[in-house]
Amino acid sequence: MYPLKFEPILKQTLWGGDKIIPFKHLNSDLKGVGESWEISGVEDNESVVANGPDKGLTLADMVRKYREELVGEANYARFGNKFPLLIKFIDAKQDLSIQVHPADDLAKKRHNSMGKTEMWYVVDADKGAKLRSGFSEQITPKEYKERVLNNTITDVLQEYEIKPGDVFFLPAGRVHSIGAGAFIAEIQQTSDITYRIYDFNRKDANGKTRELHTDLAREAINYEVLDDYRTKYEAVKDEPVELVACPYFTTSVYDMTEEISCDYSELDSFVIFICMEGACKIKDNEGNELKVGAGESILLPATTQDVTITPEAGNVKLLETYV
């Protein structure tokens, strides 16, 4: 096995912007691209291998073919042929809807699906761009429904101005939304279940509003209030800094100017690197080497013992995530 690159799955949306195509250096004239699904095992949205002998196979094909060698023994026992993570870039030219995702138990019961715990890493942000995450004051499920109906739900949500490098962890059940001008990388469980709570009464070209899932969301919401929903970390050069560790993924950031080596000999999982800026070469213990630039993601199979990462021409910033 060898490090894998995938063809991006570009999603045009009503709220999509113009940052993803140039960020990923793609030769495309698509407009309004709101999302690029980088590594996806979601049914009907499965990533296709872009390099090497397995070029043209889907991620689902790869899991069925290589099983534990690709994802790790514990992951294969836990998830079977379902790849457990979904990696995206999201570019919001307009505010996205306020939404929530169900946890595993509710998602299994209602949709026969995984839940959706996720995290955001801010790649770029226009001046004044904001994210919403969590409640700013305690409310009841009854008050939640009333506030949706009378258009005051945003009054009780925590709102943050953002800058590149900001991180938010979003366990299933936390109400959230992405604001206009935010460009983020998203790491999440493999699930496409979203309950739309509020959509600012927007109408489409036909004068119709989008469906809301008020009652479904009410049971999925965690009404707990925290002092601060941001993930705080100390930025350090040339060594991994852990951002999030949860039952679904562990993610670190590498901000590098020097070559470093990563030992995965004790890790029973695949590893994904997502390049935020700059470029580097990643070479594994088998001698396989890939160049990775801003906007690209690679998947290292669980058989990888170690890799060497060599920055090219200055600084490179990577997110590393595994299960």
Can you list the domains of the chain with their CATH numbers? 2-229 (2.60.120.10), 237-320 (2.60.120.10)
**CA nearest neighbour of 99 among 169, 195, 219:** 195
**CA nearest neighbour of 258 among 282, 279, 240, 238:** 238
Which amino acid type is present at position 225?
V
Integer Cα distance of 85 and 116 in angstroms: 10
**CA nearest neighbour of 118 among 91, 100, 97, 105:** 100
Token representation of residue 48: 């296709």
Q: Is 101 annotated as a binding residue?
A: yes
∠ CA 232-235-240, nearest 5°, is 105
Q: Is 176 annotated as a binding residue?
A: yes
Do 222 and 121 contact (CB within 8 A), yes or no? no
Do 176 and 131 contact (CB within 8 A), yes or no? yes
Do 178 and 131 contact (CB within 8 A), yes or no? yes
Per-residue pLDDT at 126? 97
Do 35 and 88 contact (CB within 8 A), yes or no? yes
Give 269: exposed, middle or buried? Use CB within 10 Å, 0-12, 13-18, 19+. buried
Do 199 and 211 contact (CB within 8 A), yes or no? no
Which amino acid type is present at position 187?
I
Active site residue 64: no
| Dihedral pair phi/psi, residue 102, rounded to 5° | -75, 155
What spatial distance separates the first Cα and last Cα of the chain, rounded to whole Å?
Answer: 19
Distances (CA, A) of 199 to 96, 173, 248, 261, 319: 7, 18, 29, 46, 31
Three-class SS of residue 161?
A: strand
Do 89 and 185 contact (CB within 8 A), yes or no? yes
Please pick, among 132, 147, 174, 196, the residue that the annotation labels catalytic: 196
Per-residue pLDDT at 205? 73
Give pLDDT tens digits along the chain (323 positions). Answer: 999 999 999 999 989 999 999 999 999 999 999 999 999 999 999 999 999 999 999 999 999 999 999 999 999 999 999 999 999 999 999 999 999 999 999 999 999 999 999 999 999 999 999 999 999 999 999 999 999 999 999 999 999 999 999 999 999 999 999 999 999 999 999 998 999 999 998 887 788 888 999 999 999 999 999 999 999 999 999 999 999 999 999 999 999 999 999 999 999 999 999 999 999 999 999 999 999 999 999 999 999 999 999 999 889 999 999 99
